[in-house]
Amino acid sequence: SGESGAGKTESAKLLLQHIMNLCKGNSQLEQQILQVNPLLEAFGNAQTVMNDNSSRFGKYLQLRFQKNTVQGAKLSEYLLEKSRVVQQDTGERNFHIFYYMFAGLSSEEKEMYGLLDPSLYRYISGQYGTQEVVQRWKHKYQEVCNALDMVGFQEQEQVDMQAILSGVLSLGNVTFVSEESNGSVKVSESSQGWLKAAAVSHMHSLKKHYRYDASSHCPPWSPSVSCCCSLCTDARDSVAKVAYSRVFGWIVCKINELLAENVDPEVELREIGILDIFGFENFAVNRFEQLCINLANEQLQHFFNHHIFQLEQAAYKEEELPWETIPFNNNEPVLNLLLAKPLGLLSLLDEQSAFPQATDKTFVDKLNRSFKGNLYFQPGRGHVLGFSIVHYAGKVQYTAGGFLEKNRDTLPASIRGLFINSVTPLLSMLFTGKVLHTGLLRVLYLARMSVFVYPHQHSLMVLMERMYSANPHFVRCIKPNSKKEPGVLDRQLVLQQLRYNGLLETVRIRRDGFSWRPSFEEFVER
């Protein structure tokens, strides 16, 4: 754990290499486990203002052992930041894979996928890179291709996947205009070419789907046209986000097929899990995604406190050792604010998401009424619709725009049907399958939950259940400076992290407590 850019992903890779080196097991399997990283980073990482290679999802790698030899592995992914596909803030980029494709594909391949100059695409904000950066991306693209071959993706699957990604980019350039004669909305003439490129990539006729009858979708007043254009734009972005996240889930499934252990089911396997999850974030503009990320970090901090302070000190008291209780910064009140039922922030968000008439403003109004006087909640100031939460790592101001839509995370049934009927086998399969709540795609997964929980929340619940059932070791990553510079140590920034992570108290409990715990057998033998 640690802030965004503190080195969690690199530390996790080093830890994995170290474990692999120690167990001296199945060398081919070990190489495969190590080689899936370039693939995951290409599709799941992106440049942010805090980190040039920021994980935009959480991953939990379970290594399965028999007699100290790795027999298999399983990867779970959590909370992929889908919204990045359609929108990035200033100084940020889309997922790496889009830039790698532009840099690595030949002219003939770009023509085949209908890709034009990268500066034309809205979903990558018309940004590209310097010649030096493009060369690096070209090398990365080759790494991705090698990893795809190694994992076992067929050539046609790779072609279909890149066609889907190209179609996503073209779809982002489709715009809409109103037809004044009958009040419906259609694709603008200027973007017909982009629609055709997206349809060819996705092997569809999307054209007729993007015609909306204003009278049936919008209230009867003058802004109805802009309302319907907005509906079409939202539907377009929903398609792009879902298509990308399904591709990502499918890649994880293929990796798991490759790494699955091939042993007798009766044999008991031991397990080491490595959790590498996005770090605490506080940007100039913080949205729904930052709230999910910071909630995950808030829960992990509570988990750390529970093990290092509460369980440790309870053990000393139980053994009646002379012990003066060490106080620590307990973040339970913040978690109650966010997770309590029925009046926590997320419960209120779910309640508002269930009302068709609710808006982001009605949601914020409800928060202001419900949490008036709460020390960890502050209403928004000025004209920006939002609120602030005082997290364990500091106060974060959230912009509430888009909260309800992102929490609902729905795809119109008619659009889903369109993809199921695609003549591209991969695309049809991705939309026929169900997505498990850890983010893993499973074709024809039919389980139903008795109570509906929004996917991002269930994803976190599953993750925390796994954490609490394990024997944890904590790797705390400390960010040396905010400038992404090597060899520079900002003492104030480092001290701030040591404080809010509870590491100063951890040092004290380790120094004053009993850090070496031999078993009775070891003690007697000695």
Binding-site residue ranges for ATP: 2-9
Catalytic residue from among 1, 9, 238, 501: 9
- Whether the ω angle into residue 425 lies within 30 degrees of 0, i.e. cis, is no
Q: How far apart are the C-alpha atoms of 150 and 36, rounded to whole Å?
A: 9
Q: Parallel, antiparallel, or unpaired: how do β-strands 212-213 and 54-55 relate?
A: unpaired
Catalytic residue from among 5, 172, 183, 249: 5
Does residue 312 have an active-site annotation?
Answer: no
Catalytic residue from among 281, 289, 312, 505: 281
The secondary structure of 188-224 as a DSSP string is -GGGHHHHHHHHHHHTS--GGGG-EEHHHHS-SSTTH
Binding residues: 2-9
**What percent of the residues of the chain are helix, what percent strand, and what percent coil, each to the nearest 5?**
50, 10, 35
Does residue 119 have an active-site annotation?
Answer: no
Q: How far apart are the C-alpha atoms of 107 and 116, rounded to whole Å?
A: 10
Q: Are 475 and 279 in contact (CB under 8 A)?
A: no
Does residue 481 have an active-site annotation?
Answer: no
Does residue 166 have an active-site annotation?
Answer: no
Does residue 44 have an active-site annotation?
Answer: no
Backbone angles phi, psi at 453, to 5 degrees: -125, 135
Half-sphere CA count of 494, side-chain side, radius 13 A: 7
Could you give the strand order of the β-sheet that contains 176-178, starting from the edge strand earlier in sequence?
176-178, 184-187, 212-213
CA distances from 334 to 70, 376, 391, 397, 421 (A): 40, 6, 7, 15, 46
Does residue 324 have an active-site annotation?
Answer: no
Does residue 459 have an active-site annotation?
Answer: no
Does residue 51 have an active-site annotation?
Answer: yes
Q: What is the dihedral of CA 17, 23, 28, 30, to 10 degrees?
A: -30
Catalytic residue from among 1, 45, 48, 55: 55
Choose among 9, 151, 55, 45: nearest CA to 161: 151
Q: How many CB atoms lie within 10 A of CB 154?
A: 11
Tokens 């979708």: give the residue: 217
Q: How far apart are the C-alpha atoms of 217 and 454, rounded to whole Å?
A: 25
Q: How many CB atoms lie within 10 A of CB 231?
A: 17
E strands, 312-385, are 377-379
Q: How far apart are the C-alpha atoms of 69 and 11, rounded to whole Å?
A: 22
Q: What's the token pair of residue 378?
A: 């502050």
Looking at the annotation, which residues are catalytic?
Answer: 4-5, 9, 51, 54-55, 279, 281
